[in-house]
Amino acid sequence: MRTSIKITTAVLAAAGLTLGLTACGGDSGTKKDSASDPLVVAASPVPHAEILNFVKDNLAAKAGLKLEVKEFSDYVTPNTATEDGSVDANYFQNQPYLDDFNKKKGTHIVPVVTVHLEPLGLYSDKLKSADAIKNGATIAVANDAVNEARGLKLLAANGLITLKDGVGNEATPADITGNPKNLKFKELEAAQLPRSLQDVDAAVINGNYAISAGLKPADDALVLESAENNPYGNFLAVKEGNEKDPRVLKLKKLLTTPEVKKFIEDTYAGSVIPSF
């Protein structure tokens, strides 16, 4: 009998604790209205965060959107943070990069709206033109699959190398079939490429990192990627299933307004090109 009383008392105590926890921190009958919460967006500092901050400072309040911008200097964290819910969205990447990332990391990130293109460029602290590249020169390229392939295609488009027929967004130096100047390649993290210019003859640098380093793609690049039919437009992205979040839809609309287009054109003078 004493054992039975102890068990009954313990059960009642546990039930009371459960009710107490529910009353204090569980479902109190009031649902959180996500539409009224800030939309937290991960972005590369330039130009993505700058564009988002223009929206935040000039357009968001009128549209009823609370916008919070978190800056990241790498190309991995914005996607992993979006996947795990640490942020609501990100703005820094293009479709080939996202496709490769989702495949390799098992993430479920999807594009919402394409905003701009940052033309990839070949830069040098030592040379004034691509024609001046000497035999045996060292060219730095990004070490992630998509940006490396993109860089190699830029070099091929300008006659510096020839790539294997049909090679796509997974091209590496092993796919080079013609190399008349016997170029050597140094693979580095994309963010490190601007700092490599003192150590190599030239480097293929992503537009955002070039601008952050004080380079002007439209003026300083030895060769620059064409914007025509370019698949590398940068877009706002979310985790699959969040495309219809009212806050995301508001930002989608704001990012493609005439005001944002003018801001991009006036601020970056051809180094960043609106894609809408």
Render pLDDT for 214-243 as a digit per residue (tens, 0 to 9). 999 999 999 999 888 899 999 999 999 999
Cβ atoms within 10 Å, residue 123: 23
Q: Please, which residues have CB within 8 angstroms of residue 250's CB and are 6 or more apart in sequence?
A: 39, 60, 63, 64, 65
Q: Which residue intervals of the chain bear CATH 3.40.190.10?
A: 36-119+231-274, 121-224
CATH architecture assigned to 121-224:
3-Layer(aba) Sandwich (3.40)
Residue 97: predicted pLDDT: 95
CATH class (in words) of the domain with range 36-119+231-274:
alpha beta
Cut 0.85: pTM above it: no
Here the tokens at position 111 are 């594009």
Cβ atoms within 10 Å, residue 103: 10
Render pLDDT for 26-84 as a digit per residue (tens, 0 to 9). 333 333 446 789 999 999 999 999 999 999 999 999 999 999 999 999 999 999 999 99
